[in-house]
Amino acid sequence: MSRVAAVLLQTLLAVALAPALTGFIRWLKARLQGRRGAPPWQPYFELRKLFAKEAVMSHTASWIFTATPFVVFGTSVAVASLVPLVLAPTDRFIVGDLFAVVYLLLLGTFFLALGGLDTGSPFGGMGASREMTVVALTEPTVALSIVALALNAGSTNFSQIVGRTIADPVTALGPGHLLAFAALFVVTLAETGRLPVDNPSTHLELTMIHEAMILEYSGPYLALIEWGSSLKLLLFFALAANLFMPWGLALSFAPAALAVGLLSVVLKLAILATAVAVFETRIAKLRLFRVPELLSASFVLALLAVVSTFLAGQTP
């Protein structure tokens, strides 16, 4: 199997699996709340419905408005091709680089905020302003927590990081590793618009962050954005799961290793999704002005992770 085909297949898998992950969290939350809930595959029906619908657009919308869904979806797909999901062969640089991932995701968010501002509706502006506040506080944490791992591996390449952790499993339990994981988990919730930062299931337009930016979108455009957002959630989960607990990742193209890789990634995603669902069921949304406090705390965790990894690297 060629490298290109492998990357393509892995990317397609991520794109195909993303709506199910969102649906699974929704379904599990409903069950935890004592409701029956829509089945986990409901988002697929929603996407099909949205793609079949007409897109209604404001007269004041410019090309930015129409370009945004493609940028959001495109950057998510590009990131999907860089993140180790099923396989991460250490002999070749098949998966990507930390900085590419962080800034590609940021590009998507940037365009989402522009798209929100573009129509001039008050909610788009409000959502964009809030999103930028949140993003300004999360992006450094994302980068820093992965740097903590990169320091250990001596490279910002995901393959090298994964290889290093598998070669030396004790580091996975080191303080640097665990702190970085905690930091990344918090920003995952913030970046993907989950509680306690944003409420993905609210209908109250004044409290929205992510939803406020996309309030003007409809039809296929909305479908692309929704799909891109699901994909982003899956990618953050995949990063958290495979960088910090890489066991099970296929290190070669052998069919058996690939099968194990596939099974393990599904299992890891399910565990993280369950954790998020349980967490979201137990907590309320933070007051908006408390969000920076939470994100600053996660930044401090990431910083401690870097310091701890650095010092641990000095001792032997």
Partner 1 sequence: MTSESTARALLESSIAVSDLAAPRGNEVHCRVRPDAIVPLADFVCGELGAELILMAAEDRRRSSGAFVVNYLFAHRASHWLLHASAALDGARPELPSLARFHYPASRFEREIRDLFGIAVPEHPDPRPLVRHGFWPDDYYPLRKDANGREFHDDGQPFPFTPVGGEGVYEIPVGPVHAGVIEPGHFRFSVMGETIIDMKSRLYFTHKGTEKLFEGRRPADGTALAERVSGDTSVGHALAYCQAIESAAGVEAPHRARLLRVILLELERLYNHVADFGAIANDTGFAVAHAHCFRIREGLLRLNKQLTGARLLRGVLSPGGLNRDLAVPADFTTAIQAALVDFDEVVAICFNNTLLMDRLEQTGTLGMEVARDHGVLGFVARASGLDLDARRDHPFAAYGELDLRVPVLAGGDVKARTEIRVEEARESARLIARACERLTPGPVQASIGEVAPRVPAFGIVEGWRGRIVHWIVAADDGTLDRVKIVDPSFFNWPALSYALVGNIVPDFPLCNKSFNQSYSGNDL
* From candidates 2, 287, 315, 316, binder to partner 1 by CB under 8 A: 287
| 215 contributes a contact to partner 1 by CB under 8 A | yes
| Separation between Cα atoms, residue 226 and residue 113, nearest integer Å | 15
| 204 contributes a contact to partner 1 by CB under 8 A | yes
* From candidates 3, 35, 49, 53, binder to partner 1 by CB under 8 A: 35
| Separation between Cα atoms, residue 230 and residue 266, nearest integer Å | 15
Contact 249, 264 (CB under 8 A): yes
Q: How far is the CB of 299 from partner 1 (least distance, A)?
A: 20
Contact 148, 243 (CB under 8 A): no
| 218 contributes a contact to partner 1 by CB under 8 A | no
Query: What is the Cβ-side half-sphere exposure of residue 193, based on CA atoms within 13 angstroms?
Result: 26
Footprint on residues 155-184 left by partner 1 (CB under 8 A): none
Binding mask 245-284 for partner 1 (x = CB under 8 A): ------------------------------------xxxx
Q: How far is the CB of 71 from partner 1 (least distance, A)?
A: 24
| 206 contributes a contact to partner 1 by CB under 8 A | yes
Site size toward partner 1 (CB under 8 A) is 29
Closest CA to 81 of 63, 100, 55: 100
Bridge partner list, 250? 87
Give the 3-state secondary structure of residue 97: strand
| 290 contributes a contact to partner 1 by CB under 8 A | yes
The single-letter code of the amino acid at 131 is: E
Contact 160, 151 (CB under 8 A): no
Residue in the block written with tokens 């290109």: 4
Cβ proximity to partner 1, 270 vs 288, nearer residue? 288
| 34 contributes a contact to partner 1 by CB under 8 A | yes
Q: What are phi and psi of 87, to 5 degrees?
A: -135, 150
Give the 3-state secondary structure of residue 104: helix
| 39 contributes a contact to partner 1 by CB under 8 A | no
| 298 contributes a contact to partner 1 by CB under 8 A | no
Stretch of residues binding partner 1 (CB under 8 A), selected from 94-102, 154-162, 177-185, 206-214: 206-214
Footprint on residues 116-155 left by partner 1 (CB under 8 A): 122, 126
Residue in the block written with tokens 């401690």: 304
Contact residues: partner 1, CB under 8 A:
29, 32-35, 122, 126, 195-196, 199, 201-208, 215, 281-290
